[in-house]
Structure 1
Amino acid sequence: EMPEPFEQLVKKALEFSLYAHRPDGLIPALSDGDSRCFLDLLQQGYDLYGGEALLYVASRGAQGQPPTVRSKGFPDSGYYVLRSGWGDQTEAYQDERYLIFDCGPLGAGNHGHLDLLSFEAYAYGTPLIIDPGRYTYDESGPVNWRVRFRNTAAHNTVLVDGRNQTRYEWKKSRFKISGPEPDRSMVAFVSKPGLDYLHGIARSYEYPAIHGRKVLFINGEYWVILDLLRADESHRYDLHFHLAPPAQGEVSLSVSHDTLSVYSPKLVLAQPLVPTVRPSIEEGFVSTSYGKKERAPIVRLTQDASSTCFLTVVYPYKNTAPKISVEAPPTSGDLRRLLDGRQ
């Protein structure tokens, strides 16, 4: 029999696993983890402790009762999960929308990635915007794949002046973290019927720009992401979206009179048309298990500015891609109020 404090930790781990599993039954490849299925452990948790929600997720909705909470935050780890539902209403379990957001610590042991304010999004049976994973620990060869997969640029967040969020340098035989991790704050997490809202802020010691990210989940259907950058001097900001391997060779850009749209299978990314934003589709890689990588496209949106805002609509669809029109982001006077959390 386990000591009671240890059992409580096991139950907390089971609760996190319950929410972290995507509707397809896999956990994202966060930091140095692989994208794997641990539903059998949820089944074991149910066998040990009961709990109809554990059985429900372990069986992907076939048995038990759905969790009473749709979206959930885990402040100690910094992970927040937004879901449209549990497949117990009008949607099939595997078709529900899901987003996991990272506003947590880098962690000890050289296994954390430089991914503050990154996220992964899933809908209608497939991951759409994905954490590329780790691929390898090997740092030999002409390409240091360990560094490439761990860098800030390898995640769905904003890269400032081409620099990692934390100093990451060669030390004797391999690259290691050599500077303080960014200061982070989770300003808000709200979950109500029809609207979920996240607001996190990252302050790196590698550059003076402050990055605030707000995520709104509208009616369980789509996300609106506001990336707010503030600095006194001009910087280069690269907003990255790493798409899943099925999007390879299937991504296109479209420009209307007011909107820039990126079309890929089951996903539309849309931003207001801003002349200073430079879009590009680049080659990337995704690794869902150690030692294996697949080609996958990266959407990059670049802007040179001091303070600015990227407003992105992340709209998944099941059958037909919608046409989306997006209004211009707020004026510079409103930007400071947004970043300070006053809007």
Structure 2
Amino acid sequence: MNALTYSCLLSIVAVLLHFSCGTTQAKNPPLGTKAAKYAKSHPTKPWHTLGKAPKKLSQEQLDEQCKLLISRLDLTLPGMSKVKDTAQNKNWQAAASAYIELLKREATKYHNGQPSQIKLRSIGNPDKYDMDMAAAALENKFISQRSYGPLEVPADLPWTYNPTNDMEWVWQLNRMYFWLHMAKAYQKTNDQRLVKKWVETMRDWVSEADTNRRELWRTIECGERGRRWPFSYYSFIHSPNIKLEDHVVFLNAYYEHIPFLMPWDRSIHGLRVLNWGLILNDGVMTALEAFPYFKDAQMWTDVAAEVFEQRMKKEVSPDGSHCELTYGYHFGVTNEFTFAKQRLEKLGYTMFPGYWKTAEHMHDYVLFATMPDGQRPMIGHTTFAHVNSLMNNGANLFNRQDMRYIGTRGEKGEKPDYLDAAMPDGGFYIMRSKWIDDQDKDGMYMLMDLTHFWGGGHSNYDAQNIILYGNGRTLLDDTGIHTYVPPDSNIGKSTRQHSTVVVDGKNQNKKGSVLDFFARKKNVSFIDGYQDGYKDVRHRRQVLFVRPDQHSDGYFIVVDRLTGKGTHTLEQYWHLFPIKETLLLDGHQATTQEKDGLGNLMIRALETKNVEMDQVKSFLTYEYVKLIDRPAIRFSSKTKLPATFVTLLKPFKGEAAPKIETSCVIDDKDMVLVEVKVGSVVDTVLVGKEPTKIEGKQLWYAGLMRKVDGKSEEVCVFQDRSEHRMGVKAHGWD
């Protein structure tokens, strides 16, 4: 099997894994009313340009391409009289030239900020990265998947060439990201070499773009070309180095993309829903914004609006969670839905009532989970990024001063009047001590992953995983995007790569988790949820958060209860941050000792019977494929069920770990009692399997009793599940 065949095989496997969602959201949806209507009158036709137009046209071929282009235009529109008159005389080249001159006039108005038939957004000014990528393209070094940087492609431009072992590079090469960098650089430099390279690569690609070639024609690549190509064309349109045949071949090739973008098309590989489907639909809108003189352009508006409304209703829950359940992709689809409304309204279309409120909730979904340092949590396939831009945009769109507060890092706006938050449809639950921790570096934050359904190929086997922030650092983090390519991609998605419990060395199944309880009272938050992630085994995780105050620097007690049948090997993992200094292991305790003045973490097993601790290798990726080593702590036990892990997570600032005395007892009713003593402050934490009467009197489910200098200072008790949702912000819980 040669390398290309093997890569193609991997590509098929990767796409199948990507869409193995197990949910109705991942199926191609039925056509909407408007799409079904238009589908009947627009059968698929053979293409005459894609994969057929050679890199150099004869006069006869040029005449045919010009005639083809004119046949695709609406000659009745204002401004098209010269094109129509010339076409009636069958002077196809002259008619095509007249149309291109019309586009040039509209492009001049568009670039000058004057009213124009071209409704594209501005591509903005070039930055250093744009200039660098444009310069690399002149040397046949093209940017594809960004993490690999620009890589050299042979002079004959084989569009399936793969200098990596990752088919993602081939696919993204065929999105032509480098064209946009070249276009932005050209607007600054007027360097005609950029135009010539654009013509060279465009004509070569079109000549090879047989729609049966899967490497070139996944749905997402088609959508990316649909929404990107016009920006480069209109940047270069006035250059004398674009000949008539180049204009005509490009415009015909672009037009032939449009049917593939329509929801009724099934002729190219890949689904038409989720983030892929929104990218396709973005291409439909861009086609109308860029080339309103094509026939059926108004139909494109109707179909695009219908699809966005359909996908909003189907894929976004009332709490704002998108069904793929990953913050990286949530950013993308939030922008797609938001900008779609604005763009469609400029084209005269009004979205359904409730669309804008759902878009606002999609921004809340980010707000609620924002970490104290402004990061988004790296849940599922998510890379490192800050939320500032999305929050500032949400503040402007929805007049939300709490979003402005987060987006400006507290310089403007109003601080949210709550701390804990929930996404009850998606299944992410957040406890925090403060919203912004840029100065004092004393904040704490925990996200618990109790997603209630499988989110698809961008999700991980990570039920009840924890992301923990403390004192200026993410202490326990998710994996990020390792790679999309199996088998390596399976490692990053595995249960053992997350801070949760693994049973018998296997991955969890795809069953959703269940939330039993989440509430905040006084200075304490408590969450309780479970997943039936293994045959005959239930993993229940309970976390009690004692917030920092005048008596305590704050900590978390984690209780993992494993119930079911038989004897099993249980492994509780805690995946730390990349450590530069020492990780101190002592009995059943692990302590990081970084010397940079930011947060460290003490992890202590409090129930140690038949439990062993060791350090294992782990990794994370802040950028695609760029692995960073990190350690993980594993507590393991081979035991007959039921079994319980009880763990203290103690973030602290500076390298000197606090002196903490602890003890743990599990009584005959499975009530976990933990004593935490720091100096003269003694906390007693109780976490029950069920609400239980203590000493036959008061009902306790979970809570905290505190003594300072021997005197009782605080009692915070969650008595039963009737207090569920107390003190937590969530859409649908009001």
- Paired with 1:84 and 1:94, the residues of 2 have a C-alpha distance of 11
Give the 3 Å change call, closer, same or farther, for CA 192–335 of structure 1 in structure 2. Answer: closer
1:109 match? 456
Q: Is 1:122 aligned with 2:469? A: yes
Q: Is 1:279 aligned with 2:279? A: no
Q: Please point out which of 630, 634, 650 is paired with 1:315.
A: 650
2:543 match? 215
Deviations 1:125-183 (A, max 9, x none): 110011112210012xxxx32000001111111000111111xxxxxxxxxxxxxx225
Q: Please point out which of 573, 576, 586 is paired with 1:240.
A: 573
Contact 2:453 2:513 (C-alpha < 8 Å) held by counterparts: no
Q: Which runs of 5+ in 2 are unaligned?
A: 1-344, 549-553, 594-599, 673-686, 693-700, 702-734
2:591 match? 263
How big is the shift at 1:274?
1.7
1:145 match? 488
Contact 1:106 1:114 (C-alpha < 8 Å) held by counterparts: no
Q: TM-score, normalised by structure 2?
A: 0.41
Q: Please point out which of 288, 292, 317 is paired with 2:626.
A: 292
Q: Please point out which of 353, 375, 390 is paired with 1:41.
A: 390
Task: Return the letter of the residue paired with 1:105.
Answer: H
Contact 1:283 1:298 (C-alpha < 8 Å) held by counterparts: yes
- Paired with 1:6 and 1:93, the residues of 2 have a C-alpha distance of 39
Task: Return the letter of the residue paired with 2:644.
Answer: C
Q: Which runs of 5+ in 1 are unaligned?
A: 167-180
- Paired with 2:356 and 2:651, the residues of 1 have a C-alpha distance of 39
- Paired with 2:612 and 2:671, the residues of 1 have a C-alpha distance of 20
Task: Return the letter of the residue paired with 2:645.
Answer: F
- Residue aligned with 1:134, SS: coil
Q: Please point out which of 512, 521, 525 is paired with 1:196.
A: 525
Deviations 1:257-285 (A, max 9, x none): xxx32101411111226241010011111
Q: TM-score, normalised by structure 1?
A: 0.86
Task: Return the letter of the residue paired with 2:577.
Answer: A
Contact 1:277 1:302 (C-alpha < 8 Å) held by counterparts: yes
Once the two structures are overlaid, the 10-residue window that deviates more, 213-222 or 270-279, is 270-279
Give the 3 Å change call, closer, same or farther, for CA 325–271 of structure 1 in structure 2. Answer: farther
- Paired with 1:74 and 1:86, the residues of 2 have a C-alpha distance of 17
Give the 3 Å change call, closer, same or farther, for CA 29–23 of structure 1 in structure 2. Answer: same
Contact 1:267 1:314 (C-alpha < 8 Å) held by counterparts: yes
- Paired with 2:614 and 2:580, the residues of 1 have a C-alpha distance of 14
2:411 match? 62
Task: Return the letter of the residue paired with 1:163.
Answer: K
Deviations 1:183-217 (A, max 9, x none): 5210000012200110011112x321211100111
- Paired with 1:188 and 1:165, the residues of 2 have a C-alpha distance of 22
Number of matched pairs: 317
How big is the shift at 1:338?
3.7
> Counting helix residues as a fraction of each chain, which structure ranks higher?
2
CA RMSD, aligned part only? 2.1
- Paired with 2:365 and 2:442, the residues of 1 have a C-alpha distance of 21
Q: Is 1:78 aligned with 2:427? A: yes
2:186 match? none
Task: Return the letter of the residue paired with 2:474.
Answer: P
- Paired with 1:235 and 1:92, the residues of 2 have a C-alpha distance of 46
Task: Return the letter of the residue paired with 2:638.
Answer: D
- Paired with 2:385 and 2:645, the residues of 1 have a C-alpha distance of 32
Contact 1:268 1:314 (C-alpha < 8 Å) held by counterparts: yes
1:252 match? 584
2:253 match? none
Deviations 1:274-315 (A, max 9, x none): 241010011111112212110000100001121111111111
Q: Is 1:156 aligned with 2:499? A: yes
Identity %: 24
Give the 3 Å change call, closer, same or farther, for CA 298–110 of structure 1 in structure 2. Answer: same
1:13 match? 362
Q: Please point out which of 646, 657, 663 is paired with 1:327.
A: 663
- Paired with 1:195 and 1:134, the residues of 2 have a C-alpha distance of 33
How big is the shift at 1:335?
6.1
- Residue aligned with 2:661, SS: coil
Which entry has the higher C-alpha Rg, 1 or 2?
2
Give the 3 Å change call, closer, same or farther, for CA 215–279 of structure 1 in structure 2. Answer: same
Task: Return the letter of the residue paired with 1:316.
Answer: P
Contact 1:106 1:113 (C-alpha < 8 Å) held by counterparts: no
- Paired with 1:183 and 1:83, the residues of 2 have a C-alpha distance of 24
- Paired with 2:540 and 2:455, the residues of 1 have a C-alpha distance of 24
Task: Return the letter of the residue paired with 2:478.
Answer: D
Task: Return the letter of the residue paired with 1:31.
Answer: G
Task: Return the letter of the residue paired with 1:199.
Answer: D
- Residue aligned with 1:317, SS: strand
Once the two structures are overlaid, the 10-residue window that deviates more, 155-164 or 333-342, is 333-342
